[in-house]
Structure 1
């Protein structure tokens, strides 16, 4: 399978910060300024004190946050102080998914790399990743054209997300007041002006246009990074218009091309809704977690609290309403405990039938075959995510199958399968379950959990990549 991955690829610089370190750091800044910013968090980083206040705020309350850095001097401060001491790894949904696809057996994976620096390229899988060469024409045009971004960062600035992990129980001094961190979490200072506007490497764009007919799929993500307004006068709407036109041009050249849009944590509900409504019909599938599903409560009408508690009947209802109300072909919801897919079927089933047992034999067979195919793709994704959590590695399919056999299903996920079957008069099929609702089939499967996970980062992206790849393969086989 030949698959494009866009748009957000970056470097994650992960550093575990101690209570003693934050105490020492706080003492180098004015008390009144920091305390005021902890009381009234700026949410963005324009100065070193903004960064320190954000980190102290998250550690004080045990919450997670990601603030964007808008000043070059802050980047230099973070880079010189922490980068060399950090765990440097692949970041960005598109980068993580590209590596997963490469390791899992895709033929060729083409990622969009905003800044192909030596460090960034070294973080990619060596199996099936392909970096298109820029043509001479592109190179000459870039040389002649003025730099697009005249703000704080240059166009050659590596996109680095500085991730500060902190542990529960760490103690630090907030200007004489002892603070104990209530829970483990992280604060992210993001220096990434190119991915914030879905920058497309010209070589990637040219390759996609020239080879669209050879492609099987496109995995796109990074929309959650969009800002309402940009220094050059553009808005997220103008950027999304360009992105939409680009995807449509690829689809026009190859009507069999499968496009999956993976959501993320949007800072703005308005932008999240705009992205969903604009790309719902163009995309062949969409993916999100339970928190992201809750953002669309205005579209599906289900309580966000129930979704965040991962109640199967609530998530099923919300996903079905979202999909059926907007004509989605497929919607995948991945949680820590289970994964659920709602997909449209072209088959006409007996509208009076409320369960498989009230259908005739041919209808029941068609329904079960369709459900089995979707569950097989989901199961592969679940295994990949479980193995990646347990080992931090994906080394081919034999490795995934061998390591997955050592994992256990989520007990809560198994309970929710039973609740799903009861709520929707569903049917058990091997490890999962399914039901027919209108002209949509809803499938559900428990996840696989590790008792001692090596990583919890990128599991949703890994599940998405595995499910998407196996789904493409099954389509070809059919």
Structure 2
């Protein structure tokens, strides 16, 4: 793909969140063993209490059995750091791989042979460093003797850094087990995620590196920032979300100090409405581009006070409501471009004076969905050649319907002052993996958008 070749000439900086995804494929025997160890009655009682976070093993088993019984995918935060050893002694992980948006995007762009990929995460334990691909174009910024040096993440790890491990328990429909006298059969396949939410994991740039952010910004073509969903409202050491968001704002301004570096913020679901508002109002006005899915735009609109429109998006998922929400967002937050990805379509919304034509914006989205289709088909993109696999994947069966609804939406809404482009997604029927598909779409869209701007000399 010609556009990918252009994008691969770029240097991209990405930060902050990385973790290890440790995956366990559950079977009847393993589930039964856990219930027997805790005691069926104790598990049943704790299930009724429905713990919102995992502080001890019984909380985990109770929420896991609840997820298995309903067959619904769930994620519950693990707040007790000491439980690392309990999990590691009870489970053999079938797969361990890179997790976290910054880590996934860095590996993807490095494997696609981008000119240079700089990845920064404040915590880089040895196990985390080993999750990065061994590519000569991938670097981690390190300050040595007062100078900025770039090393491969494999050489840059720090022995005592904390590590964030998200444990993913995959379950299959039809799995059977007993809870005391009750026989349970799992109704649907899904996954139960134990997401580490420890105080030791923070989102920030270390002071020594901070002063070099203008240099990194000057030598990069774009930055992709993510992980703000990991910020807590309050910490036991007296720091709070405002403290870390002030630091995040400084980082963006430092990256842009020497040139108008284009910055993309990849938004992820934030449960706390208070924190969501803080992230939106503090960071959106400073960045050029934001990527999110349709449930996330509904959450954002709700936080901005558009609760009726937010409810409509949640309830009906109509294209015209998403377009209207997107228009509000780019106007109120002064964004250059908003990218929304859903299972059936991807959309760009920009102002009418954007340097790129609607045809060029469409090309950018085409590359994004092709990359995601390649990743879904193969599980991982390991070279630029893999993109050919994505090109063979057909557009989803609702493609024509999407186009029709989009034309209707454009007639209903005033879109003269905007460029709104939508394309159906290439949808893989039985994906090898669904992890990181949104990140792949956003990274593909933003980097190809930059490449097209560069071609037009607008970057």
TM-score (norm 1): 0.84
Measure how far apart 1:207 and its partner are. Answer: 4.8
SS at match of 2:174: coil
Note if 1:182 corresponds to 2:187.
yes
SS at match of 2:420: strand
Counterpart position of 1:420: 406
Counterpart position of 1:453: 431
Contact 1:195–1:225 at 8 Å: present in 2 too? no
Q: 2:215 aligns with which of 210, 215, 227?
A: 210
Contact 2:122–2:202 at 8 Å: present in 1 too? no
Note if 1:370 corresponds to 2:377.
no
* Distance in 1 between residues matched to 2:142 and 2:37, nearest whole Å: 47
Counterpart position of 2:28: 19
* 1:342-395 Cα distance to aligned partner (Å, 9 max, x none): 112337xxxxxxxxxxxxxxxxxx9xx611121111111111001100112324
SS at match of 2:367: helix
Identify if the C-alpha distance between structure 1 residues 96 and 291 changes in structure 2 by more than 3 Å, giving closer, same or farther: same
Note if 1:288 corresponds to 2:292.
yes
Contact 1:217–1:259 at 8 Å: present in 2 too? yes
Measure how far apart 1:415 and its partner are. Answer: 1.2
Identify if the C-alpha distance between structure 1 residues 226 and 33 changes in structure 2 by more than 3 Å, giving closer, same or farther: farther
Measure how far apart 1:303 and its partner are. Answer: 4.3
Measure how far apart 1:134 and its partner are. Answer: 3.4
* Distance in 2 between residues matched to 1:16 and 1:250, nearest whole Å: 42
Identify if the C-alpha distance between structure 1 residues 138 and 267 changes in structure 2 by more than 3 Å, giving closer, same or farther: farther
Counterpart position of 2:369: 382
Identify if the C-alpha distance between structure 1 residues 211 and 294 changes in structure 2 by more than 3 Å, giving closer, same or farther: closer
Stretches of structure 1 that go unaligned for 5 or more consecutive residues are 140-153, 348-365, 427-434
Stretches of structure 2 that go unaligned for 5 or more consecutive residues are 1-9, 149-158
Contact 1:331–1:343 at 8 Å: present in 2 too? yes
Counterpart position of 2:151: none
Counterpart position of 2:138: 129
Identify if the C-alpha distance between structure 1 residues 3 and 281 changes in structure 2 by more than 3 Å, giving closer, same or farther: same
Contact 2:21–2:96 at 8 Å: present in 1 too? yes
Counterpart position of 1:430: none
* 1:146-165 to 2 correspondences below 5 Å: 156-165=161-170
Counterpart position of 1:405: 391
Counterpart position of 1:91: 99
Identify if the C-alpha distance between structure 1 residues 202 and 410 changes in structure 2 by more than 3 Å, giving closer, same or farther: farther
* Distance in 1 between residues matched to 2:204 and 2:176, nearest whole Å: 41
Aligned residues: 433
* Distance in 1 between residues matched to 2:392 and 2:422, nearest whole Å: 21
* 1:28-81 Cα distance to aligned partner (Å, 9 max, x none): 114454323322322212111111122122212222232222223311111232
* 1:116-158 Cα distance to aligned partner (Å, 9 max, x none): 333322222233211223314599xxxxxxxxxxxxxx96232
After TM superposition, the structure 1 stretch with the greater mean CA deviation from structure 2, 41-50 or 65-74, is: 65-74
* Distance in 2 between residues matched to 1:291 and 1:308, nearest whole Å: 10
| Aligned Cα root-mean-square deviation (Å) | 2.5
Identify if the C-alpha distance between structure 1 residues 80 and 209 changes in structure 2 by more than 3 Å, giving closer, same or farther: farther
